[in-house]
């Protein structure tokens, strides 16, 4: 009977993948996505974005030109990951598996899975790594279990290599796998440190090897925070009214006065000469990029201004200020590009996107609610595991903690208030809470 039940699971997931590929065919593109393909096709890969992702997209693009294979990959990988996770936790309980699969049709998840982004690749690969890891940690055959753990380790390196901040989500997952593998509690912290540092080191080496041009670390740090400073929709960071939005922020004239002509600039979008003054610039995009970096230097010199900026960004990310959290709604089809990629729209696809847009003003898109639910569920799951030693409670607690840590990292890193950055919290919150609610009384994962 379990084989028959699993066949139904496979049939549902296959239908889901095919339907999703149809609705998004050949794959939605944002400016980031277009950049992936341009770098992959030119062979000039920088480490501003993940070189591992760009190289992988390039291989798929050479097989079938366009975003269709990346779309199939990110959709099917997440489906396979959830299948392995659900059948490991609930081999005899269809309701539990259905609750896990339901995250796929959660509007925030389903509405984003068709955009070719590093986030989607990371979510799918990280969930697959965790699923394979708990299979290996709980496998009755020691040799097969070790082999699965090796595969999981490779997948964790790949997941961390797909996004710079993915490492924030891994420590709780490593802890769960270690405990399932029989590691004693006192050794678990060491396992977490070794696995986290190891995956970060290996993925960093992988990306540095694949990159043909390296972006200076200070540029990356500047960019991660300067992206978060653009809190007014559709406005350039250095508009005249921006200094009035955040108290004590230097005006554009003040920035030019302090870091004006003749100074060295942090060039973000291209390599610049060591002594190239602002006055000689002709490319407006590069002018803005350098001024943003200068603005960041200025704002970080004032602690009160920077803390105010951090607080505002936290409110934006969590949706506590009533401001718009960017989300690719029905208007996003495919970013304009000169790569020959086009989106063939029809009434069914428009109806699908229109259906998803109904949920935009609902709590399903409130990160504050998801974070509160995740924290509450984690407390319950952790206490339940301590009291009953049920593996499923431990898995739930690990997933919830992973989502919470990742979201805290998003808030702390001051990235732009973009919904995709918080999607890992939504996925783990849904699955972890579902496992917590439906967890049976058996002690071990099958």
Query: What are the pLDDT digits (tens) for 203-223?
Result: 888 888 887 876 544 444 444
Give the per-residue pLDDT at 413. 63
Query: In the structure, what pLDDT confidence band is assigned to residue 50 with cuts at 50, 70 and 90?
Result: confident
Give the per-residue pLDDT at 22. 92
Q: Is the pLDDT of residue 177 over 70?
A: yes
Q: Is the pLDDT of residue 340 over 90?
A: no
Query: In the structure, what pLDDT confidence band is assigned to residue 392 with cuts at 50, 70 and 90?
Result: confident
Residue whose tokens read 């060491």? 190
- Residues 291-318 have a mean pLDDT of 60
- Residues 337-360 have a mean pLDDT of 79
**What distance in Å separates the CA atoms of residue 419 and residue 329, rounded to the nearest whole number?**
11
Selection from 13-27, 248-262, 348-362 with the highest mean pLDDT: 13-27
Give the per-residue pLDDT at 35. 81
Query: In the structure, what pLDDT confidence band is assigned to residue 443 with cuts at 50, 70 and 90?
Result: very low
Q: Is the pLDDT of residue 326 over 70?
A: no
Q: Is the pLDDT of residue 11 over 80?
A: yes
Give the per-residue pLDDT at 268. 31
Half-sphere exposure of 149 (CA within 13 A, CB side): 20
**What distance in Å separates the CA atoms of residue 435 and residue 181, rounded to the nearest whole number?**
20
Residue from 310, 302, 292 nearest 222 by CA: 292
Continuous segment of H or E residues that includes residue 12 = helix 2-24
Q: Quickly list H helices, 211-346.
A: 217-229, 242-245, 252-258, 284-300, 303-318
Give the per-residue pLDDT at 417. 60
Q: Quickly list H helices, 25-44.
A: 31-42
Mean pLDDT for all residues in the chain: 75
Residue of 10 and 28 predicted with greater confidence: 10
Give the per-residue pLDDT at 69. 93
Query: In the structure, what pLDDT confidence band is assigned to residue 252 with cuts at 50, 70 and 90?
Result: very low
**What pLDDT, in 10s, does the model give residues 68-121?**
999 999 999 999 999 999 998 888 888 889 999 999 999 888 888 888 888 899
- Residues 324-350 have a mean pLDDT of 65
**What distance in Å separates the CA atoms of residue 209 and residue 206, rounded to the nearest whole number?**
5
Residue whose tokens read 């590009």? 337
Q: Is the pLDDT of residue 122 over 80?
A: yes
397: three-class secondary structure by DSSP:
helix
**What pLDDT, in 10s, does the model give residues 135-169?**
998 888 888 989 999 999 999 999 998 887 888 89
Query: In the structure, what pLDDT confidence band is assigned to residue 18 with cuts at 50, 70 and 90?
Result: very high
Give the per-residue pLDDT at 288. 47
Q: Is the pLDDT of residue 294 over 60?
A: no
- Residues 411-424 have a mean pLDDT of 70
Residue of 228 and 346 predicted with greater confidence: 346
Give the per-residue pLDDT at 327. 56
Omega before 56 within 30 of 0, i.e. cis: no
Query: What does the DSSP 8-state code read for residue 389?
Result: -
Residue of 244 and 202 predicted with greater confidence: 202
Residue from 399, 382, 384, 373 nearest 85 by CA: 399
Minimum mean pLDDT among 212-216, 268-272, 421-425: which range? 268-272
Residue from 165, 168, 187 nearest 178 by CA: 187
Give the per-residue pLDDT at 107. 87
Selection from 230-239, 260-269, 369-378 with the highest mean pLDDT: 369-378
Report the predicted TM-score, pTM, of the whole model to 2 decimal places. Answer: 0.80
């Amino acid at each position: 009977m379990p084989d028959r039940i699993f066949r139904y699971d496979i049939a549902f997931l296959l239908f889901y993948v095919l339907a999703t590929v149809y609705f998004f065919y050949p794959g939605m593109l944002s400016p980031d996505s277009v950049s992936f393909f341009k770098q992959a096709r030119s062979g000039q890969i920088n480490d501003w974005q993940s070189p591992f992702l760009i190289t992988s997209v390039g291989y798929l693009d050479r097989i079938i030109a366009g975003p269709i294979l990346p779309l199939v990959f990110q959709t099917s990988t997440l489906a396979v990951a959830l299948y392995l996770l659900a059948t490991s936790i609930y081999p005899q309980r269809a309701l539990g598996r259905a609750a896990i699969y339901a995250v796929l049709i959660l509007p925030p998840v389903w509405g984003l899975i068709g955009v070719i982004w590093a986030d989607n690749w990371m979510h799918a690969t990280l969930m697959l790594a965790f699923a394979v890891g708990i299979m290996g940690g709980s496998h009755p055959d020691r040799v097969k279990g070790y082999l699965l753990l090796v595969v999981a380790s490779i997948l964790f390196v790949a997941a961390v290599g797909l996004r710079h901040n993915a490492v924030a989500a891994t420590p709780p997952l490593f802890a769960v796998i270690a405990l399932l593998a029989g590691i004693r509690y006192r050794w678990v912290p060491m396992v977490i440190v070794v696995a986290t540092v190891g995956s970060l080191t290996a993925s960093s080496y992988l990306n540095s090897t694949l990159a043909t041009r390296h972006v200076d670390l200070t540029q990356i740090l500047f960019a991660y925070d300067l992206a978060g400073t653009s809190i007014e929709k559709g406005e350039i960071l250095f508009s005249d009214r921006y200094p009035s939005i955040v108290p004590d922020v230097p005006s554009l004239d003040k920035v030019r006065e302090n870091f004006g002509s003749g100074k060295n600039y942090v060039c973000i979008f291209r390599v610049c000469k060591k002594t190239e003054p602002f006055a000689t610039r002709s490319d407006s995009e590069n002018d803005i990029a350098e001024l943003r970096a200068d603005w960041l230097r200025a704002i970080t010199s004032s602690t009160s201004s920077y803390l105010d900026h951090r607080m505002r960004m936290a409110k934006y990310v969590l949706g506590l200020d009533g401001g718009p959290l960017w989300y690719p709604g029905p208007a996003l089809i495919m970013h304009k590009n000169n790569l020959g990629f086009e989106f063939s729209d029809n009434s069914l696809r428009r109806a699908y996107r229109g259906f998803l847009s109904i949920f935009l003003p609902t709590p399903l898109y409130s990160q504050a609610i998801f974070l509160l639910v995740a924290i509450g569920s984690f407390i319950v799951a952790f206490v339940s595991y301590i009291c009953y030693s049920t593996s499923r409670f431990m898995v739930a607690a690990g997933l919830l903690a992973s989502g919470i840590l990742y979201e805290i990292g998003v808030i702390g890193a001051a990235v732009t208030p973009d919904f995709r950055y918080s999607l890992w919290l939504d996925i783990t919150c849904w699955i972890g809470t579902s496992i917590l609610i439906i967890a049976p009384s058996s002690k071990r994962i099958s």
